[in-house]
Structure 1
Amino acid sequence: MKKTKRLLHATFLALATLGSLAGCAVTSGQSSVGDYIDDKTISARVKTRFAQDETVSAMRIQVETLNGVVQLSGFARSEAERTRAGELARSVSGVRSVRNDIIVRPPTQ
């Protein structure tokens, strides 16, 4: 009896979670919950690559993904950092293209 109750509870929670994703998942230009989740995964992977790289600041550069197209924005301290951020984004699986809108702003002294 306890197992059945736990199974029903787990099933209810899973269905409620899926239902909440379906309600907020599709944004302009996206066709499904899966597309939304894929785009969020791509963005997270790009940010992870930034965090692992010594050249790129994951804190100053924002990443947005829509249908596999990654848009980078924010500020880089050098053209090398801007270029490297684009390279890292392109290297992530699932990325169709990259819009590199990062502005180079050298640090003030």
Structure 2
Amino acid sequence: MKTRRFLHVTLLAGAVALVLPFPANAAEGGPSEGQPEGQAHRDAGRQGEYINDTIINARVTTALANVNGIEPADIKVETRDGLVHITGFVASQSANEEAMIAVRQIDGVRDVKNEMVVRPRK
């Protein structure tokens, strides 16, 4: 069951990373057609941040899927500028603590706002 969830989360993260827009000439540092000089650089930086947040979000989601006592469907993860906000339900306080340890070890995570609530499974 955990392996299947891990596979789904990993595939979803990869799909998200592939569909994000990337300007054709951002690697060259030149402006896109119709953009003023310097605009491409600023936009590329914003997109770089967005991609980083997306990757962080995917890594956090994957890490949480591998914690016993957490069902990925019960958790919502949002990442903005490396700040991770987690809401939802976990089965135990130990699962909550294990999740925080796992999330804080992920590269790019600057801080974590944990709003997960312990709700034992029936």
TM range, normalised to the smaller chain? 0.5 to 0.7
State the TM-score, normalizing by the size of structure 1.
Answer: 0.66
Instruction: Report the CA distance between 1:50 and its aligned residue.
Output: 2.0
Q: What's the % identity of the aligned pairs?
A: 36
Structure with higher Rg: it is 1
C-alpha distance in 2 between matches for 1:105 and 1:51: 17
1:65 aligns with 2:72: no
> Which whole-Å CA distance do the structure 1 matches of 2:106 and 2:70 have between them?
15
Per-residue deviation, 1:52: 3.0
Q: Which residue of 1 aligns with 2:30?
A: none
Q: Which residue of 2 aligns with 1:93?
A: 107
1:78 maps to amino acid: S
Contact 2:79 2:85 in 1 (8 A): yes
Structure 2 unaligned runs (5+)? Answer: 1-20, 24-44
Following TM superposition, the consecutive aligned residue runs of length 4 or more in structure 1 with deviations greater than 6 angstroms are none
Residue of structure 2 aligned with 1:84, choices 85, 98, 103: 98
Deviation at 1:106, TM superposition (A): 1.3
Q: CA RMSD in A?
A: 1.7
1:47 equivalent to 2:51? Answer no
Contact 2:67 2:95 in 1 (8 A): no
Q: Aligned to 1:36, what secondary structure does the other structure show?
A: helix
Structure 2 distance, partners of 1:50, 1:104, is 15
Q: How many residues align?
A: 81
Deviation at 1:55, TM superposition (A): 4.2
Using the size of structure 2 for normalisation, the TM-score is: 0.59
Which amino acid in the other structure matches residue 81 of structure 2? N
| AA of the residue aligned to 1:64 | E
Aligned residue identity for 1:18 = F
Match of 1:18 in 2: 22
